[in-house]
Amino acid sequence: MHITLHKATEADAELIHEYQVAAFKPLLNKYQDMTSNPANEPLSRTIDRINRTDGGFYRILTEGQFTGAICLFSKEPDVYWISPIFIHPAHQGKGIAQQALKLAENMFPDVRIWRLATLREEKGNCHLYEKIGYQLTGKIQTLNEQATVIYYEKRI
């Protein structure tokens, strides 16, 4: 399976937002996190991410077809954050996210630390990140009675 990442532009915003909502809506319904779940974000937030001066959104293409997106940005030298990454539900479970993460790391060889956050309750996501070398930092944030955010990092 051939996966590529392409820098998104504002012309991609509506489709990225549509896929983001589709990918995160089940988690919104399950955990009722109305404040931080990406399915609840307006289109303007997607546009803001696309136009970040310290990074931006990248379209994930699988065999040339848009299947998801990843937002990468730097808060400090040599440290990049991944937030969010998502694959449309019709394409999940095929290893696309894993390959996209590896591609992102290879695109920025000077980055020494990669960071991301996910829900502790989503064991599949945790397994994915741990499988490719991300380690828990110990930082935890309770969202509500049902959902807890945990933080990961990978040192290169």
Nearest alpha-carbon partner for 70 in 109, 20, 2: 20
Per-position b or e across 30-56, b if 16+ CB within 10 A of its CB: ebebeeebbbebeeeebbebbeeeebb
Q: How confident is the model at residue 70 (pLDDT cuts 50, 70, 90)?
A: very high
* All structural domains of the chain with their residue ranges: 3-112
Q: Tell me yes or no: is domain 3-112 CATH 3.40.630.30.
A: yes
Q: How confident is the model at residue 24 (pLDDT cuts 50, 70, 90)?
A: very high
Q: What is the pTM of this model?
A: 0.96
Determine the pLDDT at residue 75: 84
